[in-house]
Amino acid sequence: MVNVEFFNYIECIFMRIKKPHLRPIVITLSVGGILLTSIFLIVVIMVFKRENIEKDLLDANSSYAMKMSDVMSNYIEIAQRELAYGAKKIESTNDIDSLKNEADRLRLQSGMFNSVLVVSDGAVVLATSPESLGLVGVHLNSSASKLAIEAKKPFISAPYKSASGNLIIFLSHPIYDKNSNYIGYVGGSIYLKEQSLFSDVLSRHFFKSDTEISIVSDDGNVIFNNDNSAVGRPMVMDDNLKSKLTSSERGEGIFFSSGNKYLLGYAHMKNTAWSVLVYSHADSVTTILITYAKSVLVLLIVIVITFSLFSYFIASRISIPLEKLAISTNAKDIGGSLVDIKGINAWYVEADRLKKALFTHIKIMIERVDSLNEVALKDPLTGVNNRLGFSNKIQNHKQGSGASVIAIDVDFFKKINDNFGHGVGDEVLVTLAQVINCGFPGLGRFPQSRGQPERKPE
């Protein structure tokens, strides 16, 4: 019982709710469908576009890293050739001034080195450029010097702090005398935290402004970075990326540092164990995506508005015939509604079928109503108005217009029925009605009241 009352209550609520019209529903569905589809497509396009932008950035960073590694490898190779040429000139002289002049030439000629040293096989500094280093006669105990003397071949050191307190990398070339005896080496240092070969080349790259370049040694320490505080420190990256750096000549990847995501491209330098890293902040993808969205936003809005207006027009065209048919069914003038229905442009099949069905139904209904009116308002025997028909005519008669009343009584009608039967009596009434209708066409609507005559009192 409770459930029935509850459902009745819900039904009453829905009955009170004002029902929407067809046209707003169709327009809302069509235009809303376009808008939702457009939003969905925009989201999908942006997702794929973001992936493409990210991939393009990774490819670009990898390609640029490869280019810069080639450039830096060429510079290192040139620097090593200059040291080799200087070592060839030094091998035949022991004059300190000549050694100093050669050191100055190596430092100043191409600007490859920040400082140049000539060192004996006992690790004692024989000449320096510039002289302000104050290292002449000093015994070098650095690991780079020891390795250069032990290797007795061209050598490139890992980053270390020099005797003068500068963070440097050191390139050296052995010096042999005419008898091929090892007598020391000539070396050039590149400062990592001051203006140098690396800063001149890498700090003035013409790549994206939000892109950074680093050179990392084989042990993961930063050799060069625009941020001097990062130089000499280990590069923060996960083990997977470190493995990729050591196992492939070039590639790309993603790493996180200080909570930020970076898109990385890397490439190895040919004549060292170093890698050039080019990486962009992942936020640059969003920046590019926003720029792209702004560039297509106007066109997208025009397309959406155009299709929305087109959908509005089509939806209106679809709903108008149905609206007119619905309005016609509520018309008080049923005869007028037939005219209205006939004039409706039902331009598609379903509306046309509904129009024809409604037209036929109303026409049949009118015919049935007329037929029932005939039965209710007219005498079935004579076809003239009965008392109800007479009352209806009187009520519909215009006020102020004239009217006449004629009363006709058939004398001795009972005798006709008694002597000749009721069938003959009916024929008399029918004939009388026909005579009146033919003789007085204007009285064709006269009513008839049939009944037994009153008996005279005896």
Has residue 447 got a pLDDT over 60?
no
Q: If you average pLDDT over each of 10-24, 99-113, 374-388, which comes out highest?
A: 99-113
Helix (H) or strand (E) holding 72: helix 22-90
- The string of pLDDT tens digits covering residues 152-206 is 999 888 888 887 778 888 999 999 988 888 999 999 999 888 887 777 777 766 6
The amino acid present at 210, given as its one-letter code, is D
The helix, strand and coil proportions of the chain, stated in percent and rounded to the nearest 5, come to 55, 15, 30
pTM reported for the whole predicted model: 0.62
List, for residues 393-430, the tens digit of each pLDDT value.
667 665 556 666 777 777 777 777 777 787 777 777 77
H or E element at residue 210: none
**pLDDT tens digits along 260-314:** 888 889 998 888 888 888 888 888 888 888 888 888 888 888 888 888 888 888 8
75's CB contacts (< 8 A; 6+ apart) are: 112, 197, 201
Question: Which residues partner with 277 through β-bridges?
Answer: 214, 266
